[in-house]
Amino acid sequence: MTSGSSGSSADGAGERTPFGVRLRAAMDAHGPLCAGIDPHRALVEAWGLPYTLAGVERFAMTCAEAFGGQVAAVKPQSAFFEVFGSGGVALLERVVAALRDAGTLTVLDVKRGDIGSTMAAYADAFLRESPHAPDAITLSPYLGYESLRPAIDLAHATGRGVFVLALTSNPEGASVQHATLDGVSVARSVVSGAAVDNAPARGRGELGSVGLVVGATVGDAVRRLDLDLVGAATPVLAPGVGAQGAGPAQLRDVFGAALPQVLAASSREVLGAGPDVRTLRDAARRTADALRV
Ligand SMILES: O=C(O)c1cc(=O)[nH]c(=O)n1[C@@H]1O[C@H](COP(=O)(O)O)[C@@H](O)[C@H]1O
């Protein structure tokens, strides 16, 4: 499987297989791990590298080499590249391109969200066809789920995907995400939005391209989301595995019957196995195997 199989038109609206379908195939082939590339200063230095653009390039390209072709998806965290300004952003583009060449799906963690007219520009920046466009991005719905429409529509048009924050892994998230309007929580309204957007995929018996982010650490709180609403058609990105304390048991407890559509994300714990490429690859493979349903 390649991450970018197909022809495409000038605006990218080609015949690429929808992201959800490609994600299902990737998880079936490699297990449900999304390996994060988060070049924290402490990790870069622990690898014996200087915390400079060159050091971070070595770190990130080693990750791309280790993870490419081995895991379902890779999630570079944009913040750690943006620290280095335009050079860091150019490096991020090279990392995405390298993973694309290896046939591995990329979820670029940029957590964008803005008024619709600005959202259209963010959608163009990340979801239109280009050699360094990722397969999916993370989105923040706190200006209203519908404000994300330009990104959702362009993702559908270009065979790409989005993951919308629903219930995040950090303890502070609950104060906003469990707030209710007319008896419906913010998080649950995001789940409903994704269910509507994935209804056509559900009708085809496929995984949709509008995913949710639900932390693997949220415990019982997940019950309030009514994940049943989305059936088996909505992919769920579940960060929090490893450094934030969640493992296979927590994933089973939190997601239950929805587990087959969960893409579990782990960054620091896997990255700690570097800098040797083979050791890093083995750590990712071991984690992916342990998470298999
Ligand atoms: O969107 C995310 O990926 C995300 C959402 C969330 O609720 N919690 C969360 O930790 N993340 C991201 O997932 C990664 C977690 O990294 P580790 O804690 O090192 O595994 C970071 O890049 C976070 O920004």
Q: If you take atom 24 of ligand 1, which residue's CA is the nearest one?
A: 77
Residue nearest to atom 9 of ligand 1 (CA): 239
| Distance of alpha carbon 75 from alpha carbon 271, whole angstroms | 12
Number of domains in the chain: 1
Centroid of ligand 1 to alpha carbon of 77 (angstroms)? 8
pLDDT at 18 over 70: yes
Span from the CA of 268 to the centroid of ligand 1 (angstroms):
10
Q: How far apart are the first and last CA of the chain?
A: 21
For residue 101, pLDDT beyond 80: yes
d(CA 121, CA 142): 18
Q: Tell me what pLDDT residue 175 has.
A: 92
CB of 211 closer than 8 Å to CB of 236: yes
Ligand 1 contacts (CB < 6 A) are 36, 38, 77, 109, 138, 168-169, 213, 215, 239-240, 242-244, 265-268
Please write down the HEC assignment for all residues of the chain.
CCCCCCCCCCCCCCCCCCHHHHHHHHHHHHCCEEEEECCCHHHHHHCCCCCCHHHHHHHHHHHHHHHCCCCCEEEEECHHHHCCHHHHHHHHHHHHHHHHHCCCEEEEEEEECCCHHHHHHHHHHHHCCCCCCCCEEEECCCCCHHHHHHHHHHHHHCCCEEEEEEECCCHHHHHHHCCEECCEEHHHHHHHHHHHHCHHHHHCCCCCCEEEEECCCCHHHHHHHCHHHHCCCCCEEEECECCCCECHHHHHHHHHHHHHHEEEEECHHHHCCCCCHHHHHHHHHHHHHHHCC
Judged against a pLDDT cut of 50, whether residue 7 lies above it is answered with no
Angle CA(239)–CA(36)–CA(82) in degrees, nearest 5?
Answer: 110
- pLDDT exceeds 70 at position 6: no
Q: Residue 28: inside a domain, yes or no?
A: yes
Residue 83 structural domain: 21-291
Write the ipTM.
0.99
- Protein residue with least CA distance to atom 3, ligand 1: 239
Q: Give the tens place of pLDDT for each residue, 135-177.
A: 999 999 999 999 999 999 999 999 999 999 999 999 999 999 9
Which tokens in the block code for residue 258? 């929805």
Is position 13 within any domain?
no
Mean pLDDT of 193-202: 96
pLDDT of the residue at 222:
85
Supply φ then ψ for residue 106, to 5 degrees: -120, 135
Q: Which atom of ligand 1 is nearest to the CA of 173?
A: 7
With a pLDDT cut of 70, the percent of the chain lying above it is 95
CA of 63 to the centre of ligand 1 (A): 17
CA of 240 to the centre of ligand 1 (A): 6
Q: What percent of the chain has pLDDT over 90?
A: 89
- Measured from the Cα of 215, ligand 1's closest atom is 7
- The rounded mean pLDDT for the chain is 93
Cα 14 to middle of ligand 1, angstroms: 31
Which is the closest atom of ligand 1 to the Cα of 163?
Answer: 1
The CATH number of the domain where 114 resides is what? 3.20.20.70
Task: Please name the residue whose Cα sits nearest to atom 4 of ligand 1.
Answer: 239
**Mutate which of 106, 213, 218, 287 for ligand 1 pocket (most atoms within 8 A of beta carbon):** 213
The active-site residue, picked from 75, 100, 111, 156, is 111
Work out which ligand 1 atom sits closest to the CA atom of 77.
22
Q: From ligand 1's centre to the CA of 179, what distance in Å?
A: 22
Say if residue 9's pLDDT is above 90.
no
Q: Model confidence at 14, in pLDDT bands (50, 70, 90)?
A: low
Within a domain: 10: no
| 209-264 tens-digit pLDDT | 999 999 999 988 888 777 777 778 999 999 999 999 999 999 999 999 899 999 99
Stretch 35-61: mean pLDDT, rounded? 98
Q: Within a domain: residue 187? A: yes
Give 102-140 pLDDT, tens digit per residue: 999 999 999 999 999 999 999 999 999 998 999 999 999
Residue type, 20: G
CA distance 89 to 97: 12
Residue at 7 is within a domain: no
Is 75 a known active-site residue? no
Q: Which of 3-12, 70-79, 214-223 has the lowest mean pLDDT?
A: 3-12
